Every structure is written in structure tokens, then in C-alpha cells.
Amino acid sequence: MTFRIRLACVTIITIVANAAGAHGQSAGDVTARLRQVLPADVATRVLAVIEKARSRGLPADALENRALKFAAKGVDANAIEKSVAEQEDRMERVRDVLQTARARKPGDDEIEAGAEAMRKGIDGPKVAALAKDTPADRSLAVPLYVIGSLVDRGFPSDSAVRRVQDKLRTRASDKDIEKMAVDVSSLPTNNGNGNGRGRGAEMGRAIGVTKHPGGGAGNSNGSAGGGPPAGVPGNGGKPAVPPGQGKKPPKPPGKKP
């Protein structure tokens, strides 16, 4: 097994494992941090969404970590509030879809993975079909994360779901399914730029976005899972280079340096 595949597999398995409380922060610590990094009114509303998620049995710590991660990356506070509220709504929907399809309560990691898949365009019926097609005692966390990774890579949602379903029907292990996300790193993207570097690592970071609160700005990688909400610049909308301080214009012909 190559180092890249091994690294991706270890990252995914480690993060997908239910590690609630692994970050060692109490609810009070997170509340205090959110009040420090967000304007008071936004922090109050974000905390209300998080508390609603907790009261409904959803993985509220993932929302806490999402807010802290985006705040550390300089995302606009209102965009953070919107992102947290939308993710909570997706969590509710995917929890209901999985519970109906499998007649059992889904795990927190399955809810997080399903919410991320929905965020990337995998609708409820596709999630339900995947759940119904999979043994009830098998976790859907890795399959759902891999589907999201394939969509990130440019695969249409139908194709991404079908590829993972085909693997599940052959009783492929999670490790084999994870490998799909690494294998596509050698394929050109749909826009033909051929930039397939680090897709396995990006998938791991996408999975880890809700598990590592408050990652510094230096950890931003621009991936769909680990970066700011769609359409929001990581620097809060400020220009990367101040006006007039870009590249120097070329010297006129005939002038000596």
C-alpha cells in the first residue's frame, strides 16, 4: 500500500471513529470561545442553534467546531451563523432519512457524514436508497464521506452514489471504499486541469472539519469540507492584495533598469 493511500485510510478511520469529547473541551469552554470570536448577537443566535441540535439528539459538538473553525479562518460572522443553521437543518433531515430507511437510530458520525453529503448536493432520496441498500448493522459514515469526496472531484451525484453502492453490494470493506477517493486523485478534473494532487488528504481534512475545533488560519486548505461556506472568501471578503500593491507594471521599451 502506498504512503498516500495508507495516510488517507488512517486519517479517515481515526476521525470517523466516534471520538466525542476527544478535544477535551467542556460545553462551557466552547460557549466562552464562541462569545469571544463572534459578535455578541451572532454568538447568541449560533449558540441557540447549537442548543436546539443538542436537545434533538444531534451531534451539537460538530456545529460548535464548525463555527470555531470558520471564525479562525476569518469568515464573516453572518456567514458563519448561516452555515451553522443550514448544517443543523441538514443534520435533522439526514437523521430522519436514515432512521426511516434503516429502522434504527443513526450514529453521530453517520449524521455528520450525511449532512456533508447533502451539503454537496446528494439529496434525501439518494441517501435513503444508499441506506436501504446497505446492511442495517453497517455504518454509512465512510460511504457517505467518500460519496462527498467523489462529488468534490467532479463526479455527478448519481455517479458518485452508484460507484459507492456497487462497492457496498460486493461487501467491500470501508478500507476498499476509502481507497476509491484516493484512486481518483490520478484522474483529471472535469475542467481538464489535471490537478489531482492531495485529494486523499483533502478528503481526510473534509472529514475532520467538525472534529478539530478552532483550527488556525494557517490550516486552511480551501477544500469544500474544510474551507468556508460556499461562496464565502476565507479572509472575510477583504482583498488578498491591497489596491496598487500588486505586480509592478512592465518598464516601457527602451528604458534601462
| DSSP category for residue 189 | P
pTM of the entire structure? Answer: 0.66
242 confidence band (pLDDT: 50, 70, 90): very low
Element (H, E) at 93: helix 77-102
At residue 78, does pLDDT exceed 80? yes
Query: pLDDT tens for residues 158-169?
Result: 999 999 999 999
Tell me the average pLDDT across 1-12.
46
Tell me the average pLDDT across 125-150.
93
Task: Measure the CA–CA gap between 33 and 19, rounded to whole angstroms.
Answer: 21
Query: pLDDT tens for residues 171-210?
Result: 999 999 998 877 765 554 444 333 444 444 444 444 444 3
Alpha-carbon distance values, 134 to 9, 22, 127 (Å): 21, 29, 11
Q: What is the mean pLDDT of the chain?
A: 75
Point out the least confidently predicted range of 31-45, 88-102, 141-155, 193-207: 193-207
| Residue for grid cell 435513503 | 128
Output the CA torsion sign for 128, 134, 138, 141: negative
| DSSP category for residue 252 | P
